[in-house]
Structure 1
Amino acid sequence: MNTAIEDDSTLTDRYQTTVPASVRRALKLKRRDRIHYTVRPNGEVVLSRASDEPSQDPVMASFLAFLERDLQAHPENIRPVAAGTFAEAERLTSGIEVDLDEALPEDDDDA
């Protein structure tokens, strides 16, 4: 890519945006492709196609490793989830509707 491509996009109330067509073409992005962001110390943001290898969250990886060790060391603690547990979850969440386009509350803006 020899020429610089510049384009703009707008953030929605939920901090989402559409990647401009010019950038999608330059990065050869298709639907469901992943994007990688690098924020440099000077505030510059580099957007690139993410590698096919999923990145690992170190906290989640540590937790899952702990869980695996614990389950192997104490298999007697493994129990099936009872049907009553599912029924209780359904009861607790019945009537709750989620609008994925709803604006986030003010206290979540810093996330």
Structure 2
Amino acid sequence: MNLDQYLPVFLFILIGLTVGVAPQIIGFVLGPNRPDPAKNSPYECGFEAFGDARMQFDVRYYLIAILFILFDLETALLFPWAATLKELGLYGFLVGLEIVTILAIGFVYMWIKGALDWE
């Protein structure tokens, strides 16, 4: 087994670690460290923090986030599908239409269930 083949890989790893770790070490060693109570206090949007950091969020918050990701991905997939529609032919059109239909049914279901109502 010839280790000369792996030299570029080892160099790549070494350079990557150097570029990623060296600035952090230099900043930690040479950077100023002057803590005071104002710097160490918790800060949240311009006012003092209140409540527990482990408070529970409403499930609807996560549901809206998941729906946003779902429809964002749908939009990202529609553009290449539409751009290559001529090459895909009728079968590609029907498969894309099936995906859009499934997502539309899910959207209507969520709308009927009231998942999109923000109170």
When normalised by structure 1's length, the TM-score is 0.26
More helix by share: 2
| Bigger RCO (CA 8 Å, 6+ sep) | 2
- The structure number with the bigger radius of gyration is 2
When normalised by structure 2's length, the TM-score is 0.25
